[in-house]
Structure 1
Amino acid sequence: MKNYTILLLSIFFFSCQQKENTKTSVDVVSDTISATKNKVENKKEEDKKEEDKKEENKQIGDTIAMNFSDEKGLFTAEGSLDSIHSRIYIKFKNEDSGELNATIIPATGKGNIRFNQIIFPDKSSDGPFGMDLKIPLQQKGNHILVIGHSLMADNPYFGKFQVKLENKKK
């Protein structure tokens, strides 16, 4: 009996020592709603950032996909040539026949860099060209421009450059 009383008293004291949970079910529901609202707002911000990133023509490895043009129809991208990527491939899609005007602008102003080749959708090619290119595009489909340094000249170009493409429709 004495052991039984000590056991009951110890249970009573331990139960009095516990802190009460003062949150009501309404507080829990409002916390859940605000957490969900924050997640939705964060997701919207992430989607906007991804859209901003998608609106640029960026170099990935040795390839630049020209997917986005400005309001004038001019495709612009920045790239870089280095010892690992001595050739850069510019991929673009031509939907109408017209004339392609392309320009390479090196960051240093001048350099041994040029359009080495253009590969047409039927896998035929033409080139080499200089830093400026004007060529009629008769075929519809995916074209590839190859940018690199001239093998006929000394001092290959390594560094950043900007490339601009404009397809003037007939």
Structure 2
Amino acid sequence: MKNILMLLILIFFFSCQQKENKNNSVAISDTISVKKEKEENKQKEENKQIGDTIFMNFKNEKGLFTAEALMDSIHSKIYVKFKNEDPGQLKATIIPSTGKGNIRFNQIIFPDKSSDGPFGMDVEIPLKQKGNHILVIGHSLMADNPFWGKFNVQLENKKE
């Protein structure tokens, strides 16, 4: 009888210690999530391509939105999203890594869902609406050899 009682007491103490270990592991995972959030904030300061979309949120030291993108057979169109707060003139440029290629601005979609295009590798267009704009980059369907590879996109929004 004494052996069974001692066994139950030992099991009780071991089970209490296991709960404390679980609480410690939660505290460790909380610090890991805080570190991950800090790293994500650093990554958000760059304009990067996620899937087929580039979110232009940060300007460089020259006041330009710049990003590096990759066009491949899976992502044959790249969408560049940016927010316009004041009326002005948009100047956008595509710079392929190979020098030239069959790549262009196919379309610009305005906040009211109207659109304009196609354009070439450079576009200058007045922006009269406030809100989120989308530039669609792809290859010209009227030319041979679609572009696959890396390129840079530069946007400059001059306020009037």
Indicate whether the TM-score tops 0.5. Answer: yes
Equivalent position to 2:68, from 56, 75, 78 = 78
Aligned residues: 137
User: Residues 105-129 of structure 1, C-alpha deviation per residue, up to 9 Å, x if partnerless?
Assistant: 0111110000000000111110000
Aligned to 1:144: 134
Percentage of matched positions with identical amino acids: 74
Aligned to 2:49: 59
Distance 1:46 1:98, change over 3 A: same
SS state at 1:110 partner: coil
SS state at 1:96 partner: coil
Amino acid at match of 1:146: V
2:101 aligned with 1:101:
no
Aligned-pair distance for 1:40? 9.8
User: Which structure 1 residue ranges, 4+ long, deviate > 4 Å from structure 2?
Assistant: 38-48
CA distance in structure 2 between the aligned counterparts of 1:133 and 1:158, rounded to whole angstroms: 21
Amino acid at match of 2:50: I
Runs of 5+ unmatched residues, structure 1: 1-37
Aligned-pair distance for 1:68? 1.0
Aligned-pair distance for 1:150? 0.5
Aligned-pair distance for 1:44? 7.2
Aligned to 2:149: 159
CA distance in structure 2 between the aligned counterparts of 1:39 and 1:74, rounded to whole angstroms: 38
Aligned-pair distance for 1:46? 4.7
TM-score (norm 2): 0.77
Aligned-pair distance for 1:41? 8.8
CA distance in structure 1 between the aligned counterparts of 2:50 and 2:67, rounded to whole angstroms: 11
Aligned-pair distance for 1:54? 1.1
Amino acid at match of 1:148: G
Aligned-pair distance for 1:48? 4.4
SS state at 1:92 partner: strand
